[in-house]
Structure 1
């Protein structure tokens, strides 16, 4: 049986890659891009830097800085009007996962119309879309290399996973220098997010030899560098390694899918406005512990790549070493529990049945080595709270 693999047409990777964005847009034959970013990146001058480069290349860009954390269907409306008014022929997503998710949604909705909920899984969209160029500023989401976007439904608070080739960027610019200013908390959360992508891609029921190599490479690199990047954001070697690993993990899960951690993470983000990487980190040790019995040899491979087991370590022992290592990592990176984060216990408990249903409906838990029931997901939500 063959495996379908989808990747950006090309990428520019390395220090100073951002300076080449004008030539990238030119190479693609595009002229009127809309730069989709957030107000923080405008305040730092980074957005103006891109606009200046594009204008110097003879392009006519427009800035849209109205993206919000965990973008919603309501937050897309101003962006859609901007795309139409500018007669944009392309969309540049510049920032972390939220600006890139927004850019992907705008690229599809502006070209094809409809409502965002009509694009959510299990529907897979491969129709009309504006070309997307992705420029990540965090080493975590891997969105620059994935055929997914995640948008919350403003009416229901459901965090919708929307898949399909039309959401895949045509080009990516991966410049680790953009991550050097990331604070420790963001470095930790996005780093664990990338690690989660890699582990889930490797243990997913949709894993394949192509995604396996990328996933293990990312796990190996993250294991060696995440604590250094967290402790010393100026360490260029660690920053570059984490950025490359994030893109590799994105390519891996885009072609193998994620699993239970992500299925349970999205409702936490939607209902409690917890950043995606952090909600993954809150869940990763417990969900791994729950799942190892379904794929001990695969989790053991992850442990060996991460550096906590050797080839001579039995699979059962190595898999347990991975659970212990992930627990230790989240402790070292000061990942809070939902309780420590400040989430009200009563609200959490009341929403558990809804979150469990939304997790299952996303389809991601079906890729997990142990496919959970709704009751088991509810138990896991109760366990991770404190």
Structure 2
């Protein structure tokens, strides 16, 4: 067994109603004035107001920034950081899906250390602890409440930059399944497939360890048994709980094992064509499963049994079956089959291929990958 390292350096609260414990978490961080970073939809639905009320009733001042967008930009981070500094707040609450959390992490860096978030691109460039951060996911997908990554779009380059540092992991994560019940089916599907891919890619990653594999497997078990039910009925709290816990475990897994070609390739798809991250991942999923089959086949039967409605013993399982199961799952939850179905064309494939190859995920993909392979995969998925 190879050497491995892990830690889970945060406080995680899970269960129906844990949102009400937000003031207690803030108090343990010494927080007197919270700054909520969220999106316009959650603001319109009253979820932001709910958090504001919980904090103000506990005597904690609140300011808000609700202008995050899907695939958040460098400019959004700059506006949010300016608003944070002007507010006088001393801690941040990231409320929403991956986009508000990516912005909140980035604000936590630049508000503390200055400069542009572009200056922190890459690994381990954050010099120390960031502004205290509490993460509250309202989707079951990104796992960003427990990850060490912030992904921000730089429109000047049509590029999704990644900041990686374990300093980005929120001090507290509050996971309340009640917050997942208002998600539209399309969002539930895209986020759920994203979480499943986090689990699958970290599981077959060359950097996988017994610790990360245990997290990946539990994530696939929970998501595989509940994603269809949750997409069909978001009010099903048992299914919502499975999805939220599965997303959590998958996030922990890929924080330590990284991902693979799916995520390396999906970031340029989103950067150039503004395709939602989970949708881009989902479309690429079966193509990369097929590509990795020779290298990762030893783990494919177990993945299949987690995500398929049918179970196969070793003697019944054969090549191509996992790819087909992924295609069937995508169709069942409404993920498009091809990149062209999401408005992607081949005009930027050369630049997208170069950008994908810059991702550190390429190095841990189980099947060795060169630039020509990425270009061929884009063309196949088109």
Q: CA deviation at 1:381?
A: 0.5
Q: Which residue matches 2:367?
A: 370
Superposition map of 1:39-54 within 5 A: 39-54=40-55
Instruction: Answer whether contact 1:304 1:318 (CA < 8 A) is retained.
Output: no
8 Å CA contact 2:301–2:314 kept in 1: the answer is no
TM superposition shift of 1:29: 1.8
Partner residue in 2 for 1:166: 167
Partner SS state of residue 371, structure 1: coil
Aligned equivalent of 1:328 = 328
Contact 1:360 1:366 in 2 (8 A): no
- Structure 1 position 127 matched with structure 2 position 123: no
* TM-score, L = length of structure 1: 0.94
Partner deviation per Cα, 1:198-223 (whole Å, 9 max, x = no partner): 00110111111111111001111111
- 8 Å Cα contact 2:108-2:132 kept in structure 1: yes
Provide the rounded CA distance (Å) in 2 between the counterparts of 1:65 and 1:244.
26
Query: How many angstroms apart in 2 are the aligned matches of 1:275 and 1:341?
Result: 9
C-alpha distance in 1 between matches for 2:348 and 2:343: 15
Equivalent residue number for residue 28 of structure 1: 29
1:219 counterpart residue number: 220
Is residue 303–residue 319 contact of structure 1 (8 Å, CA) maintained in 2? Answer: no
1:358 aligned residue: 355
Contact kept in structure 2, 1:108 and 1:166, CA below 8 Å = no
Is the Cα contact below 8 Å between 1:6 and 1:165 reproduced in 2?
no
Matches within 5 A, 1:209-248: 209-248=210-249
Does 2:146 align with 1:145?
A: yes
SS of the aligned residue for 2:257 comes to: coil
- Segment drifting more, 318-327 vs 63-72: 318-327
- Contact 2:10 2:169 survives alignment (8 Å): no
- Give, in whole Å, the separation in 2 of the partners of 1:268 and 1:6: 32
Question: Deviation of residue 3 (structure 1)?
Answer: 2.7
Deviations 1:81-106 (A, max 9, x none): 11111232211110011001000000
Residue of structure 1 in register with 2:11 after alignment:
10
Q: Tell me if 1:285 matches 2:282.
A: no
Is 1:76 the counterpart of 2:77 in the alignment?
yes
SS at match of 1:74: helix
TM-score, normalised by the number of residues in structure 2: 0.95
Cα deviation for residue 319 of structure 1 reads 5.6
Deviations 1:134-163 (A, max 9, x none): 000000010001000100112111001211
Label 1:212 to 1:158 Cα distance change in 2 as closer, same or farther (>3 A). same
- The aligned residue for residue 276 of structure 1 is 277
Q: Which sections of structure 2, spanning at least 5 residues, go unmatched?
A: none
| Deviation, structure 1 residue 310 | 3.9
CA distance in 2: counterparts of 1:93 and 1:6, whole angstroms: 22
Distance change >3 Å, CA 371–CA 88, structure 1 → 2: farther
SS in 2 for 1:4: coil
Residues matched between the structures, number: 379
Kindly tell me: are residues 297 and 352 of structure 1, through their superposed partners in 2, closer, same or farther at Cα, counting changes over 3 Å?
A: same
Distance 1:254 1:291 in 2: 21
Q: CA deviation at 1:126?
A: 5.1
CA contact (8 A) 2:19 2:176 kept: yes
CA distance in structure 1 between the aligned counterparts of 2:357 and 2:89, rounded to whole angstroms: 37
Q: Deviations over 1:180-236 (max 9, x none)?
A: 111111111111000000001101111111111110011111111111111122222
In structure 2, distance between residues paired with 1:294 and 1:102:
36
Conserved in 2, the CA contact under 8 Å of 1:111 and 1:129? Answer: yes
Q: Is the 8 A contact 1:149 1:161 kept in 2?
A: yes
Consecutive unaligned residues of structure 1, counting only runs of 5 or more, are none
Q: CA deviation at 1:109?
A: 0.9
Q: Deviations 1:348-374 (Å, cap 9, x if unpaired)?
A: 322111111111102111110012111
